[in-house]
Structure 1
């Protein structure tokens, strides 16, 4: 089993990574990731106005549909779960209340309403 939390979006947003990782998973084993993402796809350069002042391209946020389309290209897996998790608001609230100076950087962003476009995506696939 391979598990990735809040990191797969940085290196897994391409067709090459999933097959490479699956080489370390036995048949019937699982690949699971939880990543931050968007609630929907936005055309290139057309992010919502609330998001634009805060957006950083290195976030690599994508929608469930985007991730599903990518993972469905891999013939060596069966996707068993790919969904928005219900914990997004609570996770952000907890993070913003932490004493981390890094977390405080995002308070203004969330106060501007950007959070309504965010989600946390669960992806689980079984190697066939």
Structure 2
């Protein structure tokens, strides 16, 4: 199933294809990804506390993407999703 071993839950498949779900990743994935950056120090990678509020605001929108996401969220797909906060600090690079 590719590099992202997300279980394809029925609720999520109401709004997204397996290919689209392959772009969704969890905190450990993103922590590993950003820790590879040589130009910055990772200060924080975590789930955002505002997850429910952000989804509520998004689903109120009338654009085609938000409307399409409603089926999955109304079926309980939100329990598998979150928003991830990544905080980096740019390293000072000095020329030698």
Matched with 2:15 is 54
Matched with 2:84 is 121
Matched with 1:84 is 47
**Misfit runs of 4+, over 4 Å:** none
Aligned length: 86
Shift, 1:98, TM fit: 2.4
- C-alpha change, 1:58 and 1:50, in structure 2 (3 Å) is closer
Shift, 1:112, TM fit: 1.0
What CA distance in whole angstroms lies between the structure 2 residues aligned with 1:109 and 1:48? 10
Q: Give TM-score, length-normalised by structure 1.
A: 0.57
Native 8 Å contact 2:13 2:72 kept in 1: no
Task: From the two aligned structures, give the one with the greater helix fraction.
Answer: 2
Task: From the two aligned structures, give the one with the greater strand fraction.
Answer: 1
- C-alpha change, 1:58 and 1:100, in structure 2 (3 Å) is same
Q: Give TM-score, length-normalised by structure 2.
A: 0.73
After superposition, the CA RMSD in angstroms is: 2.0
- C-alpha change, 1:48 and 1:102, in structure 2 (3 Å) is closer
